[in-house]
Amino acid sequence: MAAEGEGIAAVPIAARPLPASVPPAASGSTTLDATAEGMEREHALAALIQFRKFDPPIFDGKKVEPWMVESWVDSMETLFEDLYTLEKDKVPFATHCLERTAKVWWKRIKRDRASDLSPLTWEEFRGLLFVNYFPDSEKKKLQEQFRKLKQGGGSVAEYEREFSHIIDCIPDVVRSDRDRADWFERGLRPDMYKAVRILKLTSFAEVLDRALWA
């Protein structure tokens, strides 16, 4: 081997130096990040446009009754479910439906929230909304009103409207449909109570139907 290579100079191969500027990997990563961010914004905008097409209800926070808060939240959650809304999109979508004093309230929440905290989840947003517009003191008043509610001299239909209105505001005041039926039955006038109780009905719809018939 030495004889064969005699007279041939060995030429060293130098490694080609990398550019002194930004490494290729870092540059590619930056481009990918920008592309992903752009796609994310496009997705969010398209999802918001789709959400707005369903004409979601507006919550303005003025002259608020407890049932209004429950009704608005329920409408939002129904739309979220129907449209398969991502968790991260729920709060932004809902806050697009706030106006007037409710919008001012939301701006204050965002301003006072520490910048290093993660975005609010829907559950956290619901909690803040209820604390502000439907505090525990109001819930306790309705719970006490529910426990004392009786048909009195009014019609069954009038009694049912007030009864169901309270449940719409504080659904957890009854544990089940059977529990709802029992509460309603106990509030009927004595003569109607006897006419319904003897049948040992188990659903609210059956108790209401029998009471209306009576």
**Percentage of residues of the chain with pLDDT beyond 70:** 85
Per-residue pLDDT tens over the stretch 22-78: 455 555 566 767 777 777 778 778 878 888 888 899 999 988 887 788 889 989 999
* pTM of the predicted protein model: 0.59
**CATH level 2 (architecture), domain 139-213:** Orthogonal Bundle (1.10)
75 CB contacts (<8 Å, ≥6 apart)?
56, 57
Domain boundaries, the chain: 49-133, 139-213
Burial 97-115 (b: 16+ CB within 10 A, else e): bbeeebbeebeeeeeeeee
Structure tokens that stand for 13 in this block: 């191969």
For residue 5, the model assigns a pLDDT of 47
Residue 21 has pLDDT above 90, yes or no: no
Q: pLDDT tens for residues 96-137? A: 999 999 999 999 999 998 888 898 999 999 999 988 998 888
